[in-house]
Amino acid sequence: MMRNLALRLMAIGLLGALFPAQAKVVTVADSATLTAALASAEAGDTIELAPGHYPGKFTISTALTLAGQSGAHLEGQGSSVLIVNASDVTVRGLYISGYGQALFGKTAGIQVMPGQRNLVIENNRLSGQGFGVRVDNSRHITVRHNRIEGDPSLSMVLRGDGIHFHEVEEGSVNGNHITEVRDGVYLESSKSIRVWDNIMGLQQYPLHLMYSEQITAWQNEAKTVLGGWALMDSKQVELHDNWVEDAREFGILLNMTFGARIWGNWVANVRNPDSQDLFDGEGKGLFIYGAADNEIFRNHFKDSEIGIMMALGGEDNRLYSNTFINNQVQVKYVGENTVAWNHCGMGNYWSGYNGWDLDNNGIGDLPFVPNDDLDRLFWVYPEARFLLDSPVVQVIRYLIRQSGDEPGGVVDLHPMMTPPTGDLIELYENTL
């Protein structure tokens, strides 16, 4: 008898494994039924929200899909609105608002708790003061095609980031539209993240890296931002074919970043209206600050206060085939070393270069030296700037050029006579 019972139980278990219970689709229409459905859901279920308002705070603790029909609106009460505490979860099609400003409490529209895997957050709209999407210590995270809006009534530094990854490995962020937040996409202590095809504006930095590695970012667009692509204390970054215009501080920042490849990016009109009141406050197309072993090529920097500024040990980088057009100051470098920006006989294009090309090989026959000793003197003592255009200074500059001394500071030994072309450069030139 006992043996027969054991065989029956084994057969039932085998049938259950071969034919698992079918996942349910549950439709809810108010906060109470949503909370109950989340509590009773089984792995693989789908909970679908009918149009309407769902005030409250909700938690996903099971592998499921939470989807909203058009008009489904989760309304927070100042805390995080939707907390994801499970792996293998998809959240899509929701409007989430009302999450508050408690940044140290990680308050977010969608907050992913540590230790989760395989999450997809897509086609949502999020509007609030804190983080739009916040993910901590998780893996395989996809955030795509969301619209995230911060609160413009708050100071920029008091807003949450649009998408915030902390200790995330293997993730992707693409197709999002992010405005009026602190940073658009912030990656801290994260690895193997891809960021592409996002549109961002009215924020601090559209992409901000801290202590991250193996990050690839391409075809992102940003306009009207404090700064552009900020790479800080990071390594092995690929930043290519991105576009930023109308920034105040910089277009691209390399701060203590190593082993990055920066190419094909478009940077235009980086200007700080308060630059006269700040030391080194001018808008910089490219700002290299204590970064080394980076390769920077085929980028386009134009119409900014400074084309490229380098400081505090930024000499050991490879910089070639870039275009610098109509920047008020093409290069600002205060240092004792001679820095040559060339690679394999290829330099950069500088508008205003007055050399010639007698052998018609596309490379200028004279080096391009953007700065002299007087420039560096005025940078060290900015209170003497009013003397820049005086006749005495012009005579001294002439005598320096006639002295025949080897140029110091930055020198381009092989300046290009015409700017390089490329798909991105041609695209944006044609749209201006």
Tell me whether residue 187 is in a domain: no
Between CA 17 and CA 297 the distance in angstroms is 57
**Residue, of 115 and 368, whose pLDDT is higher:** 115
220-246 mean pLDDT: 98
Tell me whether residue 42 is in a domain: no
Cα Rg of the chain (Å, integer)? 27
371-396 mean pLDDT: 47
The DSSP letter of residue 270 is -
Q: Band of the pLDDT at 18, cuts 50, 70, 90?
A: very low
Tell me whether residue 107 is in a domain: no
* pLDDT for residue 198: 98
* pLDDT for residue 22: 77
**Residue, of 204 and 383, whose pLDDT is higher:** 204
Q: Is the pLDDT of residue 6 over 60?
A: no
Q: Can you spell out the DSSP letters for 111-134?
A: EEPTT-EEEEEES-EEESSSEEEE
Tell me whether residue 321 is in a domain: yes
Q: Is the pLDDT of residue 12 over 50?
A: no
What tens digit of pLDDT does each residue of 32-48 get?
A: 999 999 999 999 999 99
| Number of structural domains the chain divides into | 1
Alpha carbon of residue 132 to chain centroid: 15
Q: Is the pLDDT of residue 401 over 80?
A: no
Which of 105-119, 217-231, 361-375 bottoms out in mean pLDDT, i.e. has the lowest?
361-375
What tens digit of pLDDT does each residue of 113-157 get?
A: 999 999 999 999 999 999 999 999 999 999 999 999 999 999 999
Tell me whether residue 134 is in a domain: no
Between CA 107 and CA 218 the distance in angstroms is 29
Tell me whether residue 412 is in a domain: yes
Q: How many CB atoms lie within 10 A of CB 72?
A: 22
Q: Band of the pLDDT at 29, cuts 50, 70, 90?
A: very high
Which of 13-27, 60-74, 224-238 bottoms out in mean pLDDT, i.e. has the lowest?
13-27
Tell me whether residue 210 is in a domain: no
Tell me whether residue 353 is in a domain: yes
- Domain containing 338: what range? 225-369+407-432
